[in-house]
Structure formats: structure tokens, C-alpha cells
Homo-oligomer: A and B are copies of this chain.
Amino acid sequence: MPKRFTPDEYAAGVLSGNRVLLSRAITLVESTLPSDQALAHAVMEQVLPQAGKSVRVGITGVPGVGKSTFIEAFGNHLLEQHGKKLAVLAIDPTSQRTGGSILGDKTRMETLSANPNAYIRPSPAGKTLGGVARSTRESILLCEAAGFDVIFVETVGVGQSETAVHEMVDFFLLLMLAGAGDELQGIKKGIMEMADAIAITKADGPNLHPATSAQAEYQGALHLFPLGKSQWSPKVTVCSAYEKSGLGPIWDSVMEYVQLTQQNGYFHHRRQEQNLHWLRHSIRQQLEERFYQHPAVQAQWETISNQVTQGQKSPFAAAAELFQLLP
């Protein structure tokens, strides 16, 4: 087991912006050991008053959309043009299968990761969605306490983690390719309606024209959709990480969103709702874990769930039957 510090040591390290201690604290919140979790709770308790002062941006898009190069270019833009301190948390549910694709390529985000005002942290593979959600959410807070004022949370856009990420960020940015077929677009149904902005990537050279056409189409389409409670009307832009073009307008959108929602109260309200969401979510997960791992349920689950799936038993009767197995 790696060395553990006291809660005070972790908290002091994180709050002073010490990157080694920040990384260790994130490792702690990622741990599933009960002793580590208790320690993590104590650390979080101490850093919480200093957290919350960042803009949290979720960034998603399917493989091939150019997420890494976009984040590198967009991140450098924020550091150089706006003097921001940026943390990038990357969730890669596929890395278990691909052997750690997300940061496996050493050239990925090379200039960004070398910049002292940027901090890049991949999520370890092979954890449950709930585990990833918890550790990512607490990692956001730790990075904020360490002084980072913009947090990117990156997902691959094809899995289940987008909904979870949507519930932990202020602004959700969807990266799309122009003219890609349905296979390439490949994003899950429902993600489009979560987006606060869509950026059409790789809008350079011969791609520029298709990209601006796609921009107009998506902008028209999004106007038909109902506004959310934020009252924000999603923006569609084009950009090129290669030419470093179109990055300013994306950040402008984020800032406009923040200004609008801070004025109408939604920004604060949403964060409070998200806090409550994660409390209820965490309770739900622990309840379900206990239930489904109960030996009596496990012994009957396959038989009963098959009867339900096949339509031989009502789901509600089956649920009642399973509960009767418990003490």
C-alpha cells in the first residue's frame, strides 16, 4: 500500500497547490478501501470550503473527433490568452479494454502537460461507473481547492459516463465532425440535448466549407429544441486545433453562459441541485449494491429475472418475491 498522510497533510498540500499532494489526494478518493474512504472524507471536509471557484466544462465526442488535440489547443488558448489555471480530468471507460488508450500515447497533450499552469489526470480504468463518478466529482473539488479555475472533464461520448459528467459540470461541450456518417458520429441518443455548445472540429483546409454548412444545420436544429431551465440557447461553432482557429468563440460562449446563469440564478441553483443529486445517487448505489449482492437475491436472481424478461412473470410481482427472500 502506498504511503498515506494525515488529513491535515493532504489538505494543506492541496490548498498550497502542491501537485504531488494533489495527485496523492486524488489517488485517495479513487481508492475503494474503506480506510482510504474514511480518510478521503476527512480530507474532503477540510478542502470543501476552498472548492467551487472554477468553471467546470464537460467535453465529449466520439473517437476520431480530435478530442485530445482540441483540448490541447483550447487549453493552451486559455492559459496563454486568459491566464487561466487548467485541470483536465479524463474519464476513459474503454481504457481497460484497450490497455489505457487515453494517456497511453505519450505525445498526447504534450505542450499542455508540460505547462505548470495545467494539470492532467486520467481516471483509472476498470472501475464501476459509480466509482468513476464519485472519484471524478471529488477530483474536481480537489483541483479547485488547489487553485485551478477551469476544469475540463473529458469523456469519450459513446458510453454511459456522459450523463454522469453532465451532472457534475456547469457547461457541456459536444465535439462533432462535419459530414461524418452515422457510424462516425456514433454518439448516443440524448447527448445532443445535453449540449450547451457544439463545436465542429477539424474546420480547416477542404473541411472548412462542410464544417460551416454543418454549423448552420446544427444551429438551425438546436433552435427548434426547447430551452432548458438555464434559459441558455446552445451555440454551434467551428474550430481547428491545427490552425488554432475558432477557439476564442468557444470560450466566449462559456463565459456568456456563466454570465447569463449567474445573473438568472441558475448557476448557483444548478450546483446545489447537483450536490443533492450526488447524495441521492450515492445512497441509491449503496442500497442497490447491498440488495443485489445479498446471497438470497443472488441465488434466485437469474431464474426470476429470466422469467420477467421472457414475460412469464410481472416485474412488480417478481420484485415483491425478491424482497420476501430478505430478512
Contact = CB atoms under 8 A, between A and B. Distances in A.
Interface of A: 37, 41, 44-45, 48-49, 51-52, 134, 137-138, 141, 182, 185-190, 192-193, 217-218, 220-222, 224-228, 271-272, 275-279, 281-284, 286-288, 291, 304-305, 308-320, 322-323
Q: Which of A41, A52, A192, A315 has the most CB of B within 10 A?
A: A315
Contacts of A323: 283, 286
B271 A311 contact: yes
Q: This chain: how many copies in the complex?
A: 2
A48 B312 CA distance: 7
A225 B316 contact: no
A192 B226 contact: yes
Given A45-B317, A134-B316, A320-B41, A226 B185 contact: yes
Q: List 6 tightest A-B contacts by C-beta distance, closest first.
A: A221-B221, A278-B315, A282-B319, A41-B317, A279-B315, A287-B287
A316 B138 contact: yes
A276 B316 contact: no
A295 to B, nearest CB: 16
17 contacts: A37-B320, A41-B314, A45-B317, A48-B312, A48-B314, A52-B311, A138-B314, A187-B226, A189-B226, A192-B225, A218-B224, A275-B311, A279-B304, A283-B291, A283-B322, A286-B323, A287-B287
A222 B8 CA distance: 54
Nearest to A276: B309
Contact of A41 (B287, B308, B309, B316): B316
A189 B308 contact: no
Chain B CB count within 10 A is highest, among A182, A190, A310, A317, for A317
B313 A48 contact: yes
A308 B287 CA distance: 19
B284 A284 contact: yes
A312 to B, nearest CB: 7
Looking at A45, A48, A228, A287, the one whose CB has the most chain B CB atoms below 10 A away is A287
A54 B215 CA distance: 42
A286 to B, nearest CB: 6
